[in-house]
Amino acid sequence: MNILKSIFLIIGLAVALPRSVFSQSNTERATVSEELMESEVLQYRGSTSRSWDLLHTELSVSFDWDNRYLNGIAVLDLKPYFYEQELLVLDAKGMEIKAVAIAGSTVPFEYDGSIIEITLEQAAKRKDTLQVTIDYVAKPYEREVGGSEAIEENRGVYFINADGADASKPKQIWTQGETEASSGWFPTIDAPNERCTQVMKITVQDQFKTLSNGLLKEQYKREHGLRTDVWVMDQPHAPYLFMMAIGEFEVVKDVWHGMPVAYWMEKGYGQYAKDIFGHTPEMITFFSEMLGYSFPWKKYDQVVVRDFVSGAMENTTASVFYEALNVNRRALIDENWDDIIAHELMHQWFGDLVTCESWSNLTLNEGFASYAEYLWNQYKYGQDQADYTFLVEQETYFDEAIENPKNLIRYYYEDQEEMFDAHSYNKGAAVLHMLRSYLGDEAFFEGLKNYLHDNAYTSVELSQLRMAFEAVTGEDLNWFFDQWYFFAGHPELEVRHEYKNDTLTLTVAQVQAVDETPIFQLPVFIDIWKGEELFSFPVVINEAYETYDFPMDEKPDVVIFDSERQLLAMIDHPQSEEEYVTQFVKDGSLYSRIETMDSLYSFKNKKLIDQILRLAFQDSFAMVRQYAVEYLIDEEVKLKKYEPEVVKLLKDTSTHVRSYVLAYLGRDGFEKYRSVFDRALNDSSYLVASAAIAQFTRNGVDLPAKFLESQKQETNLNMVVMMADYYNHQEHKDSYEWFQKRIKGLDGNTLFYFIQAYAEKLLDAPEQYRKAAIPQFDRLARNHTNYMVRFSAYQALVLMSDMEGVDTMLKSIRENEKDPRLLDFYEEL
């Protein structure tokens, strides 16, 4: 290991230093993974060994809505990967296998509910191609399912409102294959390092539209009002990326350089499709040019479905999104959906074109997709927005890592669903950002171009990404990839600086637990401000404790460690109040401004507090303005001192800022600004209107009757939650009836919170309202697709277990629940 000297002197470097200044300080770190110690209790999870190569899949499917069955015929073309094979094993979960044939002749097979085993009469050689036909029925609701934080359930195929009993919900069928759930709706080799072309023949009632991977090549009518659509995907991709969506969608067409792009919306939302997804063509151009690899597929569809089991899924050429994207233009005033759209789009390259060969390498899919959110925000909305989004994502990672630090690439785990966490996503993105900062933009994006071109239509592991960058830069990058991908945790740094005897001394100590986490090698810049002069110094930290001396003829105004703010690290670097102010004014980065706002709570100097607040009220970035108002609320600062500045913010362009202003004014100025709150109830922003509702509730003032009437059909989450809180403070008959009626037509996320408020309302309610709620909760606890809604409804029934028949109902719900996670929750309750 090449050790940097503990004393590093450098004088008067210019601010704009090339990243190549670090290139002579690389070290190669030998990896002794702690995972080896875990191997006694956890199974090694490498890539699936490939006995067979799946070449092509042709599926013919139809549906039994009443029983929620999928009737299918699968025709698979396969050949031995290398060695002769006498046994073919296919994944097929929860199916009835009616018959198996090879080359048209029926053959015997064994099936245990999870895999089909076919013993060949004659061993197949490497050049032989087998065509296997399987006649089957998939029964997704008759098998035990599981899931993860990212993917709620793994049935594979889902029937939504199959009996049409819920008038507020459309009938739909859709699929979700990741991680290994495609084999819940068709027999396959369900592994991420498998890849094949496909044809999908989908037979449905004529009123339904169908969507699948690839292009719609043919449609033909059948008897009894049925129609068959033929979708062809002639570019190979992994089985977990196969998809179908069936429903009465409104399809809004768009185009990118002559390639078809379309947005599939639930009825009533087609008019908003381009407001929601309209940046897609621009995104495709941006990512294609940035990556040096044009969008690799022949079309791109995006479909919004009901009761989806995740936020979204990047199926090749056809991404699926959850129902929260069923929004109108009013909702888009508060939030756009660009982050999730960019995330799934980036997967079309990272995940679909180039696929992780095992779930252990999942961050090669998800890290890039998460980093796409930063890249798009940086391009479209500016550096502050990109930095803020990234800060929030990193905090999520830190919260998880404190409780359970894990390697980014980890070959030992109990279940592959565990890989879908803030490490694979958030840390993966942050590591890519550090690599970009180290290499510089030109080398970083040239490396990504190499990686995509060299590995297109294949599955990969981390070493191929590293070698793509090494081929560009000529550097050995093992030191970087080893420490960030193969060790758990992150640096925890104690940074201190002191000026005396014409020298600024800065010390850096790595204080993370070194028995679990390495001593990191960290290239960083240190910025030193003296008056209007900025000096920027590159250093490479690679020891537990290091000291850097900088000759200075006067005390600097502020010292900023890691001035690029690119390190994924917990950094403790105390500054004086004056230094924080200087950092806010001179550095200009969002990190410095947010850091100063966070530190404001510990300030003693009221003049400096006042200076920062007045600057923050006029900051160019909305979140800084919001933080200033939030400080006034948290510290219970009297309205009078900042009233003129705060009132000006009632006209702020940000609805988030305006909502905080209402929260501040409502604390002790509700009557004075009553007309403001009355107007805010009808603000164009849901967020502002819901903030106004909260202040009526807080101040014990009745909402206007006309407004209450207008909210009876409102489904926006912010509005529903605030109205639920309002009615929880009311005792009249209408308040109970509002809950009874409002429970219908809400999406899963809103319903989860609504049920909790409803249950609270019923704790001391008259018996007639408690009785009326029981069948509502029972239906949701048994039938809702979202397992957290089922859990919330079950909890509500537990709170009503003093009512006749509820204990029997709870027992029945437990007996019929297939999700082991919920059964564990129920056991605890």
pLDDT digits (tens, 9 = 90+) for 50-97: 999 999 999 999 999 999 999 999 999 999 999 999 999 999 999 999
- Mean pLDDT over 465-469 rounds to 98
- From the list 96, 267, 307, 181, the residue with the least C-alpha distance to 783 is 307
pLDDT bucket at 514, cuts 50 / 70 / 90: confident
Superfamily holding 32-40+358-485: Neutral Protease Domain 2 (1.10.390.10)
Tell me which H or E stretch contains 229: strand 226-237
- Please give the pLDDT value at position 17: 30
pLDDT at 153: 83
CA dihedral 23, 24, 26, 28 (to 10 degrees): 130
User: In this structure, what DSSP letter does residue 264 have?
Assistant: E
336 token code pair: 């756009």
Give the Cα separation of 809 and 417 in Å (integer): 31
Joined tokens for residue 418: 């565990």
- The span from the first CA to the last CA of the chain, in angstroms, equals 54
CATH no., domain 575-701? 1.25.10.10
Does the structure show a pLDDT above 70 at 522? yes
CB 145 within 8 A of CB 779: no
What pLDDT score was predicted for residue 384?
98
CATH hierarchy code of domain 52-347 = 2.60.40.1730
Q: Which two tokens stand for residue 563?
A: 């001035």
d(CA 410, CA 31): 13
| Residue with tokens 């050790």, as numbered in its chain | 3
pLDDT of 148: 74
Is beta strand 259-265 parallel, antiparallel or unpaired with respect to 300-304? parallel
Name the nearest CA neighbour of 220 among 202, 232, 198.
Answer: 202
User: Average pLDDT, stretch 714-719?
Assistant: 94
Residue 287: per-residue pLDDT = 98
pLDDT in tens, 558-579: 999 999 999 999 999 999 999 9
The CA distance from 256 to 277, in Å, is 13
Tell me the C-alpha distance between 326 and 750, whole Å: 13
Q: How confident is the model at residue 540 (pLDDT cuts 50, 70, 90)?
A: very high
The C-alpha atoms of residue 748 and residue 166 are separated, in whole angstroms, by: 14
Find the farthest-apart pair of alpha carbons in the chain and give their distance in angstroms, rounded.
94
Contact status, residue 235 vs residue 298, Cβ threshold 8 Å: yes
- The overall average pLDDT reported for the chain is 93
- In 3-state terms, what secondary structure has residue 245? strand
How far does Cα 796 stand from its chain's mean position?
29
pLDDT tens by residue, 286-328: 999 999 999 999 999 999 999 999 999 999 999 999 999 999 9
What pLDDT does 677 receive? 98
SS3 category, 503:
strand
Q: Which residue has the tokens 């594979």?
A: 156
Segment 581-586 shows an average pLDDT of 96
CB neighbourhood size of 671 (10 A): 9
Q: Classify 489 in phi/psi space as left (phi over 0), alpha (psi -120 to 50) or beta.
A: left
- pLDDT of 787 reads 85
19 has a pLDDT exceeding 80 = no
> What Å distances lie between residue 744 and 326, 375, 776, CA to CA?
16, 39, 9
* SS3 (DSSP) at 154: coil
Strands 226-237 vs 196-205: parallel, antiparallel or unpaired: antiparallel
Residues ≥6 apart with Cβ < 8 Å to 310: 150, 151, 152, 176, 322
Phi, psi of 213 (to 5 degrees): -65, 155
Please report the pLDDT score of residue 703 as a whole number.
97
Element (H, E) at 205: strand 196-205
Edge-to-edge strands, sheet with 545-551: 545-551, 503-510, 492-500, 570-572
Average of per-residue pLDDT across 515-529:
95
Segment 666-689, tens digit of pLDDT: 998 999 999 999 999 999 999 999
The conformation of residue 425, written as its DSSP 8-state character, comes to I
Whether the ω angle into residue 179 lies within 30 degrees of 0, i.e. cis, is: yes
pLDDT bracket for residue 543 (50, 70, 90): very high
238-257 pLDDT, tens per residue? 999 999 999 999 999 999 99
pLDDT given for residue 818 in this prediction = 79
**Mean pLDDT to the nearest integer, 746-771:** 93
Q: Are strands 69-80 and 52-64 parallel, antiparallel or unpaired?
A: antiparallel
Please tell me whether the overall predicted TM-score, pTM, comes out greater than 0.85 for this model.
Answer: yes
Cα-Cα-Cα-Cα dihedral of 107, 111, 117, 118, to 10°? Answer: 0
Domain boundaries, the chain: 32-40+358-485, 52-347, 575-701, 717-828
pLDDT of residue 166: 86
